[in-house]
């Protein structure tokens, strides 16, 4: 029980680190998404490409830093994360596509046209509505991705406590082969 409490105290710090790394992945995602949407690709497909690239970036960054001491092997984690990514990206893409079309529809078109004109003359209101849909859905997808990655990686390997009767040697025995 104490181990669970100790890990949960570090949860806000781990989430903050995850959010920072996710920000880098989201930058990749958002640029690719908007570039493809600007080329006329449907929001669903633009998000599939952007989110896949962004989630791959987040996975690599997090595995190399935040989750490097976790027990689950890389092949298992990679397979599970790939499965999660497929489900999550399809669901998020459908939600973004729906929300983007709703925001770009007749009810919101005048507001987005005025906002687009105020931001940059010639900016497409539909493109702005699609970017807004992506921004609105992102916090939910980031939180769910953090939960999924934490579950997929399992628990961090805890070093065995040193025996009080042995003098310290400076060597650590907490290396685990994968």
Residue 34 lies in a domain: yes
Residue 60 lies in a domain: yes
- Helix ranges (H only) for 67-167 are 74-103, 109-119, 125-153
Residue 121 lies in a domain: yes
Q: What is the pLDDT of residue 159?
A: 54
How far is the C-alpha of 51 from the C-alpha of 48, rounded, in Å? 5
Is the pLDDT at 163 greater than 60? The verdict is: no
Closest CA to 103 of 134, 81, 149: 134
How far is the C-alpha of 6 from the C-alpha of 153, rounded, in Å? 17
Residue 168 lies in a domain: no
Number of domains in the chain: 1
Q: What is the pLDDT of residue 61?
A: 93
For 57, the domain range is 20-153
Is the pLDDT at 25 greater than 70? The verdict is: yes
Residue 8 lies in a domain: no
Closest CA to 46 of 116, 133, 107, 118: 133
- What average pLDDT is seen over the chain? 85
Residue 12 lies in a domain: no
Q: What is the pLDDT of residue 157?
A: 60
Residue 29 lies in a domain: yes
Q: How does residue 169 score in pLDDT terms, banded at 50, 70 and 90?
A: low
Closest CA to 126 of 145, 144, 150, 102: 102
How far is the C-alpha of 94 from the C-alpha of 164, rounded, in Å? 57
Residue 105 lies in a domain: yes
């Amino acid at each position: 029980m104490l181990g669970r409490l100790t890990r949960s105290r570090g949860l806000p710090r781990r989430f903050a680190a995850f959010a920072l790394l996710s920000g880098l992945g989201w930058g990749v995602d958002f640029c690719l998404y908007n570039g493809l949407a600007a080329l006329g690709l449907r929001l669903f497909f633009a998000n599939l490409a952007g989110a896949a690239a962004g989630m791959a970036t987040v996975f690599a960054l997090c595995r190399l830093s935040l989750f490097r001491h976790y027990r689950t092997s890389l092949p298992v984690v990679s397979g599970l994360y790939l499965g999660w990514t497929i489900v999550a990206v399809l669901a998020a893409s459908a939600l973004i596509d729906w929300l983007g079309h709703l925001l770009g529809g007749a009810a919101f078109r005048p507001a987005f046209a005025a906002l687009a004109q105020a931001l940059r003359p010639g900016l497409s209101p539909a493109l702005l509505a699609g970017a807004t849909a992506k921004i609105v859905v992102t916090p939910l997808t980031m939180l769910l991705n953090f939960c999924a990655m934490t579950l997929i990686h399992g628990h961090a390997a805890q070093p065995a406590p040193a025996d009080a009767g042995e003098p310290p040697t400076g060597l650590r025995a907490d290396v685990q082969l994968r």
